[in-house]
Amino acid sequence: MVDRLSPLDVSFLYLEEPTTPMHVGGVVLFEAPEGGFDHDKLVQLIRERIGLVPRYRQKVRWVPGHIANPVWVDDEEFDVGYHVRRSALPRPGTETQLRDLVGRVMSRPLDRSRPLWEMYLVEGLSGGRFAILTKTHHAMVDGVGAIDIGQVILDVTPEPHRSAAQRWTPRPEPSDVDLVAGAVSEVLRSPGAAIDAVRGGAVDVRETIERIGRRAAGVASAVLTIARPPSANPLNAPIGEARRFAMASMRLDDFKAIRKVHGGTINDVVLAIVSGALREWMMTRGESVSSRSAVRALVPVSVRAGEESTGNHIAAFLVDLPVGEPQAVVRLHRISYEMEQLKSTGQMVGAQALVGIAGFAPPTLHAAAARTANDWSRRMFNLVVTNVPGPQFPLYAAGALMLGAYPVVPLAKGQAVSIGLTSYNGGVFFGLNADRDAMTDVDVLAECLRSALAELLDTVPASRRRARAEPVVSPQVEVAGRPSRRRPASRGATSPADVAAPPESAPEPPAVRPKQVSSAASRGLVARPRGGPSRAAE
């Protein structure tokens, strides 16, 4: 039986245009082990473990006439050397050079005639470091239980887990006639599948109607949010094919300290920092920022019902970030309150029904719908902010210590920047993917993220900050008894160079900020949220 792409997976292929490649990626920094790390080691590691992700040896075959969704087929000419590539920076490589390389690599679309992924070993970084850049199409990694190729090369100990490479024999690729016959026979042989789909869709619709009756206010609020377009700002602009990339690294303990003092979730603190950074960045551009200014973000959030719930329960909320609010704590409490309201009012009602309906659409209509949604994205939200928690212990690739991981989130049409972040081993790592022409100052936005964190930390009592552990580097570990070469963080924020190498530039000047209130709720500026579902985002 053929392995056919789901409607959701194929939508990422339909969405793809020259200016909006639909690949996700990551920039992972490593400290080279004593024995060194080179391209041959990486290729051997991939050969040993690619059997854990068989999708990475498959390519997409389209059905003639687009009478059915495309299928995954084994690539009979699969060559790991084509996908695992080598690059180098002029020594000693700087963070600026690395970011420029990432922008250029991410600007290029993947080769659709081969498995939809690439990996680059970037050598020559200062401080005995190297980077691994991954690039994988959204169609391959989307969905519950999906595994990226970058995950399988990592171990929890410096000594890698050895497994012999298994012999792989690709299945013969079907012909065009076989693909057409298979698509027709699926319908003829399995008419019950269509009936089950209709029945499942009917159940979803019935449940949706019941929920609408119970939560009419929440649905009305969601409709009003979508109907009210976001305010115009420089985050929305025509975009081209070229990209820029920026990075910022921070300490997870600082986020926890802010949450402990002011409440909310870690995700609320993240959004408050993004709000403050966008406010400061817009001011550096001379943009008009009033008390009513807001930036609408599409924010995927975990909405798991309880500890016993399994799988990924993700809702994508539209959140108006209060960039017009000058007080950092008030921004945080406004975001916490809005997130609680969004979760409790059930604005994602009917999501499963919509997915079921999408599955009935012929592929050609599905493509048109996907493109229409992409065209409308700028009218619904200004940018995407993704927050993915990672393991809080060190990881290794063939003995090389992983220092940090910066995500690369694809851009939607008309959106100049996307912000992704992940936490790992005590650090929080932001990756900013931006259009090269529309966001020439994306590095300024990255610096504003650090400033916004420091602004919130200024509202945390000194006694609370002293109660935490002594300042540590994010991430800080000792490898085989050797002390880390990285210097401690200051003011609760570090630059990528601070995390992984000796400083390459002068320290940043102190920021001038308005006087902060200790607690917005205690002063009656905004009510603390009460009730609502469990905060799984923590």
Cα three-residue angle 300-110-122, rounded to 5 degrees: 85
SS3 426: coil
Contacts of 28 (CB under 8 A, 6+ apart): 131, 132, 133, 134, 150, 402, 404, 405, 406
Alpha-carbon distance 391 to 426, whole Å? 9
CA nearest neighbour of 434 among 465, 411, 406, 466:
411
Q: Are 467 and 420 in contact (CB under 8 A)?
A: no
Q: Are strands 396-397 and 400-408 parallel, antiparallel or unpaired?
A: antiparallel
Which burial class, exposed, middle or buried, applies to 227 when counting CB atoms under 10 A from its CB (0-12, 13-18, 19+)? Answer: exposed
Per-residue CA distances from 56 to 79, 123, 143, 297, 302 (Å): 11, 24, 15, 32, 27
Structure tokens at 185: 């026979």
**Distance spanning both ends of the chain, measured CA to CA:** 41
Tokens (6 digits) for 530 = 């009460």
Rounded Cα distance, 137 and 113, in Å:
13
Contacts of residue 181, defined as CB under 8 A and 6 or more positions apart, other chains included, come to: none
Residue 106 exposure: Cα atoms within 13 Å on the Cβ side? 31
Taking alpha carbons only, the member of 502, 499, 400, 476 closest to residue 127 is 502
Task: State residue 80 phi and psi, 5-degree precision.
Answer: -60, -30
Gap between the Cα atoms of 174 and 4, Å rounded: 13
Helix (H, G, I), strand (E, B) or coil at 203: helix
Residue keyed to tokens 């922008």 = 103
Q: How far apart are CA 42 and CA 343, in angstroms?
A: 43
- Return phi, psi of residue 346, to 5°: 65, 50
- Could you give the C-alpha distances from 254 to 198, 266, 291, 330, 413, in angstroms and in order? 50, 10, 27, 18, 34
Q: Are 378 and 236 in contact (CB under 8 A)?
A: yes
DSSP code string of 332-369: HHHHHHHHHHHHHHTTTTTHHHHHHHHHHS-HHHHHHH
| Sign (positive or negative) of CA dihedral 24, 25, 26, 27 | negative
Residues involved in catalysis:
138
Contacts of 440 (CB under 8 A, 6+ apart): 244
Token reading at 466: 């002293």
Find tokens 């992704």 and name the residue: 420
